[in-house]
Amino acid sequence: MRAKFDLVRRLPDMPEGAEFGIKIVDDDLSPVLRRGDTVYARGRGKMCPGDVGLFLVNGDLLCRQYAEDSEGNIYLFTLDRAKRSGDLMLPPSVRVTLYAKLLLPAPLPLPGIEE
């Protein structure tokens, strides 16, 4: 499932480290991000487990929460757990390109992991 959003090049209140904003135009990323929200991002960067990013996978730009295991498998989780059928487990042989790391106000726990 593709996330829908509009890129916003520059905003006056953009936080330090942000390169652009993303305006959410649907509810596929709820409850974390809702229609009309603007989230800030920076291109590329180091991803840590639980970070949320925009990833290019097989020609689709997806907004997902990131994790990686010791064998190099990448897990991309949907933010809306009611839509967890959109979760992906990608072996090292599949090319995953990080387009941008979202700068969220607080870290998100990985699915099934208690804080």
* Distance between first and last Cα of the chain: 27
Please tell me which residue, 45 or 18, carries the higher pLDDT value.
18
Confidence of residue 8 (pLDDT cuts 50, 70, 90): low
Residue 3 has pLDDT above 70, yes or no: no
CATH number of 5-103: 2.10.109.10
Structure pTM? 0.83
Quote the pLDDT of residue 91. 97
C-beta of residue 21 within 8 angstroms of C-beta of residue 8: yes
Q: What are the domain boundaries of the chain?
A: 5-103
How far apart CA 22 and CA 36 sit, in angstroms, is 10
How far apart CA 99 and CA 101 sit, in angstroms, is 7
Quote the pLDDT of residue 90. 97
Residue 110 has pLDDT above 50, yes or no: yes
Please tell me which residue, 38 or 89, carries the higher pLDDT value.
89
